[in-house]
Structure 1
Amino acid sequence: MNFDLLALNPIALNLGGLEIHWYGVIIALGALVGVIMAMREAKRRHLDPDNILDLVLYGVPIALVGARLYYVIFELPYYLANPSEIIKIWHGGIAIYGGLIAAFIVLLVLCKKRNISPWLMLDIAAPSVLLGQIVGRWGNFMNQEAFGAKTTLSFLQSLHMPHFIIEQMYINGAYRQPTFLYESVGNLIGLALILILRNRKHLLKRGEVFLTYLIWYPAVRLFVEGMRTDSLYILPGVRVSQALSLILFFVAIGIFIYRRKNENDPWYNEL
């Protein structure tokens, strides 16, 4: 049997030659739910929800550019030889860390212009970003990308995954580790933890919801990235995302400890 024929169709709709990919639909759905979550939390934190909409309006396109630029930089020899491919984002090649860095800069500029605490805005945005990452990995699933090394059918069955996931992990003549699923589930656990912690009084201070995200996500990515087969490398044997994850993990912990010792910030849940 040709298991490749069992793969799910990455095209959701074909409208007169215009192809709408499941990847885009899933990303858009994750973004929509994330925006709604952030707007509700902004209102609860006495912040005008329109600031969230403006952050999305400016941040999303710039984040896409940042995600693409990040990828191109670390694959520069290829793109110097094929410059026409730089803008062809539909051929693949975006990096979440590049998008996060670009969106972070947009957030800081917006907060500066509107005299909003960047720590508060980051606290509100972080869970929504994590939700987007959880949902977005299923776009990778539909595209049969961001997978891991070869494995066996018996191993995948031992994980008690739904059959449609196992079928989709049959790629290029072999079963693959579902690293998209490992990251999505890891982030789902992190999201649940963050939502529980942020609603506890006298537990997290302003800025610490974001810092918790900045500790959790890099830890998950550090683990999962080591299993992927499509990593970008900064040096032979050194994966870019793992190196950046380590830096962010320890920087976030350091900032967390420093702010607790030296700053008298309000409790997040009593703003």
Structure 2
Amino acid sequence: MLPYIILGKQVYIPTYNLMFGIGLILGILVFESGLKKVALTRVEYERMYTIIPLSIVIAFIGALFFDYLVHGHLGGFTFYGGLVSGAIVFLIFLRIYNLNIYKFLNLLIPSVIIGHAVGRIGCFLAGCCYGKPTDSLLGVIFPAGSLSSLKYGMGTRVHPTQLYESVFLFLLFIVIIKLVPFYKRFGIYLTGYGLFRFLIEFLRGDNRGIIFNQEFFSPSQFISILLMSAGIIYLNKIVLPEGDIDELHSDNQTGTL
């Protein structure tokens, strides 16, 4: 845990904010790389850089608002709140501009994954999103004053669920850009991450919020079920026209960025 990087007297950088910024920059670079590998008109390219900043801003607000809904106070961010709100805005503007929804959703997904992976490292450094107590060799002990020590007591070993998720996301990023056909990226992400998030929630030890007046399943687990369902439908029911498949594969035969 390293919540701040001290640069001098009263000068410091919150590591959570730093990793969030790094993740955002990496995500933009990955998206830019993807755009260069798919044939776009100048108008499409310019519209993307109108849609993306707006989607990021709305995602930021959505993450803050959703955290308030499930916890009842301001001060935190919830990934799913940001993902859902940002995705809605992204889809709306793709439709308004009459852009190929399949193409740009599958282009965007690697950026979402890599940004999220780096962001979870920020969660570990800040000490939030911690896991339940464990005797496992993978367990970590957060220092005095950390959220987990305040909840479970000093010296308690807990699951580093932040790092579990970060490792999974880095692996998912590699799999999606190296092994998954371009037009299936979105479905694989929804299904894969939804399943992982549903399971990792059972190891989370921080306040998960309450929904439907029960505490066994967290709000994030219900959203995970929706994501998995949407991913399965996308992969098994949606059939792209032959021309669209050829277009999506035109510069992505290996699925690399």
Q: Scaled by the length of structure 1, what TM-score is found? A: 0.78
CA distance in 1, matches of 2:118, 2:34: 19
The amino acid across from 2:89 in the alignment is V
* TM alignment of 1:19-98, pairs within 5 A: 19-47=12-40, 49-76=45-72, 79=73, 86=74, 89=75, 93-98=76-81
Identify the match of residue 236 of structure 2 among 257, 266, 269: 257
Q: Which residue of 1 aligns with 2:83?
A: 100
Question: Which residue type is aligned with residue 200 of structure 2?
Answer: V
Mapping 1:102-121, distance limit 5 Å: 102-121=85-104
Change (3 A) 1:15 1:98: farther
Cα contact 2:187–2:230 (8 A) shared by 1: no
Distance 1:239 1:212 in 2: 23
Partner of 1:233: 210
State the alpha-carbon separation in 2 of the partners of residues 218 and 122 from structure 1. Answer: 17
Output the CA distance in 1 between the equivalents of 2:95 and 2:186: 18
Q: Partner amino acid for 1:62?
A: I
Map of 1:3 onto structure 2? none
Q: CA deviation at 1:109?
A: 2.7
Deviates more, 1:29-38 or 1:14-23: 14-23
CA distance in 2, matches of 1:169, 1:195: 37
Q: Could you tell me which of 198, 203, 208 is aligned with 1:222? A: 198
Contact 1:141 1:168 in 2 (8 A): no
8 A Cα contact 1:169 1:178, kept in partner: no
Identity of aligned residues (%): 25
1:187-223: CA deviations, max 9, x gaps? 122111101124xxxxx363x2111111111111111
1:91-129 deviation per Cα after TM superposition (whole angstroms, max 9, x unaligned): xx2110110111112212321333211221111110110
Unaligned runs of 5+ in 1: 1-6, 80-85, 160-164, 199-203
How far does residue 18 in structure 1 lie from its aligned partner after superposition?
5.8
Q: Distance in 2 between matches of 1:56 and 1:169?
A: 38
* Alignment: residue pair count: 235
1:57 Cα offset (Å): 1.7
- 1:83 maps to what in 2? none
Residues 18 and 194 of structure 1: CA distance in aligned 2, closer, same or farther (over 3 Å): same
Q: Which residue of 1 aligns with 2:176?
A: 194
User: SS in structure 1 opposite 2:99?
Assistant: coil
TM-score (norm 2): 0.82
Any residues of structure 2 matched to 1:142-221 within 5 Å, and which?
142-152=125-135, 155-156=136-137, 159=138, 166=140, 168=142, 171-172=148-149, 173=154, 174-198=156-180, 204=181, 206=183, 208-221=184-197
Alpha-carbon distance between aligned partners in 2 of 1:99 and 1:210, rounded to the nearest angstrom: 17
Output the CA distance in 1 between the equivalents of 2:241 and 2:191.
20
SS at match of 1:12: strand
The match for 2:5 is 12
In structure 2, stretches of 5+ residues that fail to align are 252-257
The structure-2 alpha-carbon separation of the partners of 1:44 and 1:23, relative to structure 1 and needing over 3 Å to count, comes to same
Contact (CA 8 Å) 1:39, 1:52: kept in 2 or not? Answer: no
Answering whether residue 121 of structure 2 is matched by residue 138 of structure 1, we say yes
Between the aligned partners of 1:112 and 1:13, the Cα distance in structure 2 is 46
The amino acid across from 1:141 in the alignment is: F
Cα drift, residue 180 of structure 1:
0.7
Moved over 6 A (4+): none
Q: Which residue is equivalent to 1:201?
A: none
